[in-house]
Structure 1
Amino acid sequence: MKFYKYLMDIRHFRYFVAVAEALSFAKAARDLNMSQPPLSKRIADLETELGVRLFDRSSKKVDLTKAGETFLPQAQAAVRAFDAALRGARLLSPSHSRRLRIALPIETSRSVLSTVVCRLQQEQVEVQLVEATTAEQHRLLGSGEVDIGVLRYPFDKRGFRVSAPLGQPLGVVMSAEHPLAKVDRLSLHDLRPYALVQFQRHLAPGLYDELLDLCRAGGYVPPRVLHSSSMVKAFLRTELAVALATERLVKRRVGAEFVWKPLEGSPIHWWTSVVCRQDECVGLTRVAVDVIFASLQKYENWVPMPRPASVRRTETKSKDKKPTKQRLAS
């Protein structure tokens, strides 16, 4: 007699929803912070348990079957209900009301970190800080693993309480030996011959696409996009490449051998907001949101600034948008 060893749990529903919403096993695996083979195995296990195929797979695309389309809203509802049950149980924990888990971008300044922690400690709150990208923060907030995040636009706002947007203009970073280094003010059109150093798309897909769209609108289609987080300086020196960044970050992270130049008309901005779950932005959580919002303005030069309608349209497009086709270097 054989014992059936497979046990379905909420993770299989979460994996199915991730693939169904992305229509890509590779993208879903990145969003879930796992490799693709075990994700494919879990989906196969789920299909075996249900006795139906949920996806039509080919080398070029992934589509939901009729059974998958029927199953998706029920699986989404199950994941939401499970996450809500966890959050409800945690709210009843005696320690919950005095503990906040806050996710912040990697470039957050020490001044913001120390101000937020000190201010909340005055309220006798235990603060747990998490360093995470926008994509990671969005997932952690949705699953209830953190209480507050600071996300870069664009992102899906559904189910979240989002502060007013804060903005900063981006300029151009280059080597001091770059041919454009002596030009006082640049336009995007001036950058056409030069490669762009950019973060990897999976870290913030919406922001990645938005930046390239804005570059293209200003007349700059990079001949190459060089993906890097640790080799930015090397690419700027050896490739005569350029990067887009705020002036504050450049002053903190690069030396005298690099220069920062503003862009004429400030055509490209970063926007950010402080985010928590819609039904939990009360009490100490609301206090923390306000402290973070004020600290970002005071110490990192973020300015209250609405996103233009032409840019806001990317928020609805980025979720389904495929990566921009460029010649890429990792």
Structure 2
Amino acid sequence: MDIRQFRYFVAVAEALSFARAARSLNMSQPPLSRRIADLEGELGLRLFDRTSKKVDLTSAGEAFLPHAREAIRVFDAALRAARSLSPSQSRRLRIAFPPETSRSVLLDVISRLQQEQVEVSFLEAYTLEQQRLLAAGEVDVGVLRYPFDKRGLQMSPPLGQPLGVIIDAKHPLANLNTLHLRDLSPYPLVQFPRELGPELYDEILDLCRAGGYVPPRILQSGRMTAAFLKTQCAVTLAAALLLKRRGESGTKEFIWKPLEGSPIHWWTSVVCRSDECIGLTRVVVDVIFDCLQQHEHWVRMPRPTTSRSGKGKLKHKLVRAT
């Protein structure tokens, strides 16, 4: 029995899927199943109830899970302590965050890692660029928006957040308390440029279409979102806290409206390279994961296997802005 078996068990317990756990561990499913079976054999009990459709923890598995997590935590702490005694051990890590990350998250991450005597440097980058930087070894930890290519990466459990609608305070929909996606049909949609996150971009449009909203135009904007909302009677999809972080709520120029039934979520995970998610790197991943929940109200929730509602391409007139 070794610590890897504990990590395998926790991965399956959190995903409740051998396939998803294997992907997160960057391994194939048969070896993972064998490692779990070996662990169950050594413990002399069954940790999971398996059927062709689902995986559930047994009562023994539920009882074992917190102890397995604690064993991993203690092991990683011991590893960090041992490595910190080496003169060659680097105490500096590079972290990439999405541009919309709040100041409170960044400040708390710095504060907590200073207590661990870790020096960090931050970089702002969208998911596609973060993946390139991680693969090239130019950053150690990233915060990626789903969907993304998971090969070679170790990920925290997914965190989710519902998206609503930001509109101008004088918009025709401003007097409605809650909006349906179909209510947006007459109005252009402001979206981030597709090249910054092609899969997320397409996924959001597919979900809009599934809810009855096919935008007459898409205004691709990085910095002119507010101008488009005011001059084009446009709408944009965002989490509630984004408006507050931009400082726009204080002027009452823009308002955020929830979508009925929360049909659109976005998900994020804190990631690092699979072969380096130990020691200090694992500490940083855990700290960021906690700060995102505390300061930005991300909620730990399973992400659907697929949230794409259709395979066809949507046809839109694109208006680019920088």
Question: Given the two structures, how large is their TM-score scaled by the length of structure 2?
Answer: 0.69
Letter in 2 for 1:257: E
Comparing 117-126 with 163-172, greater Cα deviation is found at 117-126
Q: Which residue of 111, 122, 145 maps to 2:138?
A: 145
Partner residue, 1:281: 277
| Contact preservation (8 Å) 2:102, 2:245 | no
Post-superposition CA distance 1:11-63 (Å, at most 9, x none): xxxxxxxxxxxxxxxxxxxxxxxxxxxxxxxxxxxxxxxxxxxxxxxxxxxxx
Deviation >6 Å, runs of 4+ = none
Offset, 1:270: 1.1
Offset, 1:324: 4.4
> After superposition, where does 1:77-96 map in structure 2 within 5 Å?
none
Q: Which residue of 193, 197, 200 maps to 1:204?
A: 197
| Contact preservation (8 Å) 2:167, 2:235 | yes
Q: Which residue of 310, 320, 325 maps to 2:315?
A: 325
Comparing 227-236 with 298-307, greater Cα deviation is found at 227-236
Measured in 2, the distance between the counterparts of 1:242 and 1:296 equals 26
Q: Which runs of 5+ in 1 are unaligned?
A: 1-92
Residue 131 (str. 1) matches residue 124 (str. 2): yes
**SS class of match (1:141):** helix
Letter in 2 for 1:153: Y
Q: Which residue of 290, 295, 300 maps to 1:294?
A: 290
Partner residue, 1:106: 99
| Contact preservation (8 Å) 2:161, 2:267 | yes
Measured in 1, the distance between the counterparts of 2:285 and 2:97 equals 12
Letter in 1 for 2:317: R
Partner residue, 1:237: 230
Q: Which residue of 243, 252, 256 maps to 1:256?
A: 252
Q: Which residue of 169, 180, 189 maps to 2:173?
A: 180
Question: Given the two structures, how large is their TM-score scaled by the length of structure 1?
Answer: 0.67
Residues 99 and 323 (structure 1), Cα distance of their counterparts in 2 relative to 1, 3 Å cut: farther
Letter in 1 for 2:210: A
| Contact preservation (8 Å) 2:105, 2:291 | yes
Offset, 1:184: 0.8
Measured in 2, the distance between the counterparts of 1:310 and 1:285 equals 29
Q: Alignment RMSD, CA only?
A: 1.9
Offset, 1:233: 1.1
| Contact preservation (8 Å) 1:170, 1:268 | yes
Post-superposition CA distance 1:268-290 (Å, at most 9, x none): 01100000001110001101100
Offset, 1:97: 2.8
Offset, 1:224: 0.1
Residue 170 (str. 1) matches residue 163 (str. 2): yes
Offset, 1:322: 9.6
Partner residue, 1:62: none
Residue 115 (str. 1) matches residue 108 (str. 2): yes
Comparing 145-154 with 227-236, greater Cα deviation is found at 227-236
> After superposition, where does 1:30-45 map in structure 2 within 5 Å?
none
Post-superposition CA distance 1:85-110 (Å, at most 9, x none): xxxxxxxx955531111111111111
Measured in 2, the distance between the counterparts of 1:219 and 1:246 equals 20
Measured in 2, the distance between the counterparts of 1:161 and 1:115 equals 23
Letter in 1 for 2:271: V
Residues 323 and 121 (structure 1), Cα distance of their counterparts in 2 relative to 1, 3 Å cut: farther
Measured in 2, the distance between the counterparts of 1:191 and 1:141 equals 37
Offset, 1:325: 2.9
Post-superposition CA distance 1:110-151 (Å, at most 9, x none): 111111112112222121111111111010011111110000
Measured in 1, the distance between the counterparts of 2:112 and 2:178 equals 40
Letter in 2 for 1:304: R
Q: Tell me how many residue pairs correspond in the alignment.
A: 232
Offset, 1:249: 0.4
Offset, 1:323: 7.0
| Contact preservation (8 Å) 1:97, 1:284 | no
Offset, 1:309: 2.8
| Contact preservation (8 Å) 1:103, 1:131 | yes
Partner residue, 1:228: 221
Measured in 1, the distance between the counterparts of 2:130 and 2:293 equals 21
- Seq. identity, %: 67
